[in-house]
């Protein structure tokens, strides 16, 4: 299940990396009305800090500010996929926890209405009953771990195989829970990559603008059609 969820996200990042490499020398902004509405006139510089900050807050927002719809779509889609996968992971984990706890209540012979600590759900999967657990702890001299034999703590599995099956369910749920770190890491990386990319695009645009400002122009003209004098104009832009 999680391989199917995580695969689209991996593909998005691969496509993203390819596009980043391909668009290194492509101008950031164009002269379309849409770009002018989003980033202002291409005759003006943009703020690299603002672009980076917007993308750090919401991946793709800095690219949208720069008028780059392609990167905006890629980073925002990656964010949606990563968060969806994380929520799916949490939903599936909670389902598995309810499932193995219900199974234990049906086969381990303890009061289902008593609240239990996490330690209890682990211990009952390792020993057939409370007596076997306490005996092992006494042999290892971990006396602080002993359970007091009370109706609240008591358990005894109806079959050894049911305990093994329960413990496998609990371990599977924990494995699913551990996978959430991948989705959390993907979210963080998506923010960072988008922020760096927006900064790069903004600087690239400003560099092109600065290069266009530097120039030398030399013109020759007649002062009037009735005059024999010629004029010269030298213009230097910085």
Instruction: For 132-166, write each residue's pLDDT tens digit.
Output: 999 999 999 999 999 999 888 999 999 999 999 99
Q: What is the mean pLDDT of residues 176-196?
A: 96
Instruction: For 59-91, write each residue's pLDDT tens digit.
Output: 999 999 999 999 999 999 999 999 999 999 999
In angstroms, the CA 143 to CA 140 distance is 8
Q: Which residues are CB-neighbours of 100 under 8 A, at least 6 positions away?
A: 121, 166, 169, 170, 173
Q: Which two tokens stand for residue 110?
A: 């303890």
In angstroms, the CA 146 to CA 131 distance is 10
Please give the pLDDT value at position 152. 86
Does 56 have pLDDT greater than 90? yes
Which has the higher per-residue pLDDT, 77 or 39?
A: 77
In angstroms, the CA 137 to CA 150 distance is 17
Please give the pLDDT value at position 45. 87
pTM for this entry: 0.68
Which has the higher per-residue pLDDT, 65 or 2?
A: 65
Instruction: For 45-54, write each residue's pLDDT tens digit.
Output: 899 999 999 9
Q: Which two tokens stand for residue 124?
A: 């009952």
Average pLDDT, rounded, for the chain: 80
Which has the higher per-residue pLDDT, 153 or 2?
A: 153
In angstroms, the CA 68 to CA 150 distance is 67
Which residues, in sequence order, are bridge partners of residue 215? 237
Please give the pLDDT value at position 49. 93
Please give the pLDDT value at position 12. 53
Does 41 have pLDDT greater than 50? no
pLDDT classification of 222: cutoffs 50, 70, 90? low
Which has the higher per-residue pLDDT, 143 or 213?
A: 143
Which own/partner pairs from 204-209 qualify as long-range (CB within 8 Å, at least 24 positions apart)? Answer: 204/27, 204/28, 205/27, 205/28, 205/29, 205/45, 205/46, 205/66, 206/45, 206/46, 206/48, 208/27, 208/28, 209/43, 209/44, 209/45
What is the share, in percent, of the chain residues with pLDDT greater than 70? 69
Instruction: For 91-109, write each residue's pLDDT tens digit.
Output: 999 999 999 999 999 999 8
Please give the pLDDT value at position 189. 97
Please give the pLDDT value at position 188. 97
């Amino acid at each position: 299940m999680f391989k199917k969820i995580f695969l689209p996200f991996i593909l998005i990042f691969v496509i993203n990396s390819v596009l980043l490499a391909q668009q290194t020398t492509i101008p950031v902004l164009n002269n379309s009305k849409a770009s002018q509405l989003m980033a202002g006139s291409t005759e003006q510089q943009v703020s690299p800090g603002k672009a980076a900050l917007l993308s750090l807050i919401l991946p793709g927002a800095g690219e949208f500010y720069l008028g780059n719809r392609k990167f905006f779509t890629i980073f925002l889609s990656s964010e949606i996929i990563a968060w969806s996968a994380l929520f799916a992971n949490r939903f599936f984990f909670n389902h598995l926890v309810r499932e193995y706890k219900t199974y234990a209540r049906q086969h381990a012979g303890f009061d289902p209405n008593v609240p239990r600590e996490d330690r209890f759900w682990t211990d009952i999967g390792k020993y057939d009953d409370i007596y076997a657990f306490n005996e092992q702890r006494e042999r290892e001299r971990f006396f602080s771990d002993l359970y007091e034999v009370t109706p609240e703590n008591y358990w005894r599995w109806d079959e050894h195989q049911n305990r093994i099956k329960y413990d496998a369910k609990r371990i599977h749920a924990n494995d699913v829970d551990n996978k959430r770190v991948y989705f959390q890491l993907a979210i963080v990386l998506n923010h960072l990559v988008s922020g760096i990319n927006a900064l790069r695009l903004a600087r690239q645009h400003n560099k092109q603008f600065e290069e266009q400002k530097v120039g030398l122009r030399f013109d020759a003209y007649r002062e009037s059609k009735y005059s024999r004098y010629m004029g010269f104009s030298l213009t230097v832009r910085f």
